[in-house]
Amino acid sequence: MKGATGDTKRKIVEAAYRVLAEQGFEKTSTKEIAKQAGISQGLINYYFVSKEDLMFEIFHLESVRYMEEMHKISEITLDKNFIRHALAVPQNMVHEYPDWHRLRFELFAIGLRSEAGRKKIRQSLEAGKGEVLKTLSLLPLKEGVNQKALASIINITIDGLALEKMADPDFDMDAAYLTLSELLEAYLDFENS
């Protein structure tokens, strides 16, 4: 029976992901999610206390997938072109997973309205910052660089560039990422490593 339970929950989450990505949080109804999942509306309430709870579940699962994608950075050769290659990973994700970014910003908006939501946002930002910090610790950085502060700046800049691309399809994200690469390369010290 456990398999059926997990399968139903998975169907709900997948349907909710599609509906939320298309319609946004405010316009999404559990009735529409149930219809897309091919289940009764009551089953959604059985698995999730609220629509927010369902949104947080989706966000958690997508954050895990996002971190798996970001882990590709650890496979990139550490050389003077590392930053450009590393930044290509989140840049490409904007194109490959646009729904994920839309849902992420929906969560930010919802999350700021509740303590539980703020906690989820904090956890997500900390996880992202942790991944960036892990990468920075491998690089030959110039002396005195505050890695924790730099990790926060990189993490939030990546989010900001994704948001700008969503808001303005004509935004030249390639130029922005190139400039970000150049800014970050100023912190590298391959000569003394």
Residue 119 falls inside a structural domain: yes
Pair 74, 35 in one domain: no
- Distance from the Cα of residue 24 to its chain's centroid: 17
Q: Token match 């989140």: residue?
A: 90
Structure confidence at residue 158 (pLDDT): 94
Structure confidence at residue 52 (pLDDT): 84
Structure confidence at residue 153 (pLDDT): 96
Whether residue 76 is predicted with pLDDT greater than 90 in this model: the reply is yes
Structure confidence at residue 97 (pLDDT): 85
- CATH of residue 103's domain is 1.10.357.10
Pair 31, 58 in one domain: no
Pair 29, 56 in one domain: no
Q: Residue 125: pLDDT band by 50, 70, 90 thresholds?
A: confident
Structure confidence at residue 1 (pLDDT): 39
- Within 10 A of 182 (CB to CB), how many other CB atoms are there? 11
pLDDT digits (tens, 9 = 90+) for 3-39: 556 799 999 999 998 998 888 888 999 999 999 999 9
Q: Residue 142: pLDDT band by 50, 70, 90 thresholds?
A: very high
Pair 118, 66 in one domain: yes
pLDDT digits (tens, 9 = 90+) for 34-72: 999 999 999 999 999 988 889 888 888 888 888 888 888
pTM score above 0.85: no
Structure confidence at residue 104 (pLDDT): 83
Mean pLDDT throughout 131-150?
93
141 beta partners: 188
Residue 57 falls inside a structural domain: yes
Per-residue HEC secondary structure of the chain comes to CHHHHHHHHHHHHHHHHHHHHHHHHHHCCHHHHHHHHCCCHHHHHHHCCCHHHHHHHHHHHHHHHHHHHHHHHHHCCCCCCHHHHHHHHHHHHHHHCHHHHHHHHHHHHHHCCCHHHHHHHHHHHHHHHHHHHHHHCCCCECCCCCHHHHHHHHHHHHHHHHHHHHHCCCCCHHHHHHHHHHHHHCCECCCCC
Structure confidence at residue 74 (pLDDT): 87
Percent of the chain with pLDDT over 90: 56
Domain range spanning residue 28?
Answer: 1-48
